Structure 1
Amino acid sequence: MLKITIIAGARPNFMKIAPIIKAIEKAKSVGEVIDFRLIHTGQHYDKKMSGSFFEQLGIPEPHANLEAGGGSQAEQTANIMMRFEKELQENPAGVVLVVGDVTSTMACSIVAKKSNTQVVHVEAGIRSGDLSMPEEINRMVTDSITDHFFTTSEIANENLRKAGVEEERIHFVGNTMIDTLLSNIENFIDPQIKINGENLEEKNYFVLTLHRPANVDEEEKLKDMMQAIIDGTGDLPVIFPVHPRTAKILQNLGIEHNRLHYVEPLSYLEFNYIVKNAKAVITDSGGITEETTVMGVPCLTLRDNTERPETITMGTNELVGTDPKKLKPYLDKLMAGEWKKGGEIPLWDGKTAERIVERLLEIYQPKLEVRS
């Protein structure tokens, strides 16, 4: 039996592992000797990740929650490592599967490798080149000890080759975030956001998300960026689901405008409803750039680098930067109806998780047979 321990530490992780769990259950139903144990490290507490979140995405309740909690980067890493070590000792696995680039990804990879357990990294090989981002450190450390790499793009494959990874350990499978998006697109939920008592008009509003320190930690810069957004979006409403951390800063600054509408954080199905129907999205999130590309929605990324360059070269995304003065030409182009259309990205087709499970069985089943 191939026993896989799947790690998730934050909300985006669960969206990436949901289709993998479904694919494992499907393989089991046709007689494949494979099973999983789902571990929630408790890295992030998110009130939106209640039972309804798991139900909406078809994710079973985790077998264990390590309740590692917050604290500094070092405290969080240490807590996850200590608790996961105990979990792995009590419930040994043939493979530990990690996704993405959160602290849990790196911490559980280290524990698994030191326990002589195989490490599989889904969404391996992506790089921003920015070592000031904790996520970049997590990616690099995880990939330095990973046994098999499941990648989202040819760019990620090339990053791994340059790092000396052998071809037979690189598996280009696609993007499980897109599996989740495509399997839920018919179930998106209208959050019924009202502007002056009226529903949002399709393709007639912007969606804004900001959370990265480079954009929200410097008050004057944040003020200038918000002003640039207001100035460049014509007479259209700007819907801003506000991250709690950002909400405090905005409150202190008193940033308000009659077209700027702060709303509570939305569920996955609600948020993607407003993204799908928006004129454009202005964001500093990496994952959203992938979703907008697949849904054909223009995306303006307020970052100086990206670990997902395929969303720019093949998709609907543009890298604006963190300087507020750079935003205007992009918004002018958008408002003039001159934004690029983007196209399909190879293997972002909703079948990534099936390919992952097929490859896992091909890699590890022969070893199990030899051992038995």
Structure 2
Amino acid sequence: MTPSAAPRLRRALLRAGAFGAQSAAQTGLPQLGLSVPVHSADELLQALRVLEHRRLSATLLIPAALALQEAATVRAAAQAGHEIAGTGSAAGLAALDVAACQSVAAWEAGETEPGWAGWQALAARGVRPLPLPGPTPQPGQTVRIAPAELAARLDELHTNGFRPSPVRELSGLRRATPRDLLLHVYAQTVEANFTRQHHVIDLTQRADGVMRVAPLPSAPDPLPLPRTIPTAELHLDSARIVGLAARGALGAYRAYLRSLKDVGRALQERPELHGAQAVFAVTLFYAPLEQAGFTLLELPPARARVYALGFRVLRLVHGTTQASSVLVPKMAWLPRDEFLKRYG
């Protein structure tokens, strides 16, 4: 195995639960596991000042050498409610325990992970790899923010409705399984390719955002428009809508309505959507759209069967346990002017 392949394999195994690795599930809550890597005394103090100013706690990723050097500060951080987690070589675990005056139970997985032998040694001591952070904030997931970026990023997270917390406090935190790895592979291949090929615009920056939108150069059947008219197709963020629906239909419906306003802003602000003369979606969740003023259209039978199969696959992938009472999708649509009148 090449040196570059070994870390990738370890990350894949960690996503599947190797060495007791943890995973964070999307629960529909705006909670976000925040980890902050600190590599110097100045970074540690900077992170603590920012977090104290905002009355927040986080998971501090601290190398053992720094913990010994700044033992009093690390101890005070732990007493203030921050989670102390290790990073780098596993040989520093005992020193980190001493500095924090508590048993460290988590270790960073990712940029400075300790290698095969290190993970084995940590697992033998009951130390679990933290969930691998995502590239963008997602409800119930984790994010890694450097101290220099912390103040600005926390302001952004607050604006978008996220509630940062130490990773250990995530309500959906659990032992990872092979299914988590499969979900990651699906997201990085099938969903990423679809997004790229169809130029899908992500509108889920808010914690309860559930919509994405794609510009189309035509008006597909059965829209009552000339085929050459540009349109905009709505797509749901499946993982988010499953999480919200698990918390209750009312919360999911409200998220729907707020997300339609996100689409309204995108129609007015995104150049690629300026020509779209209608907004439509093909979905099993058409009832909320009908309540929101959309007109429903029956799909041609063959297309309806294809979409229904695709939606069944999505339900399996995202693990929803609630059986849908609707088996046949429909198209819901609004003319652009009417959509903007309601949601612009």
Which TM class, normalised by the smaller chain length? under 0.3
TM-score under structure 1 length normalisation: 0.25
TM-score under structure 2 length normalisation: 0.27
The higher-RCO structure (CA 8 Å, 6+ apart) is: 2
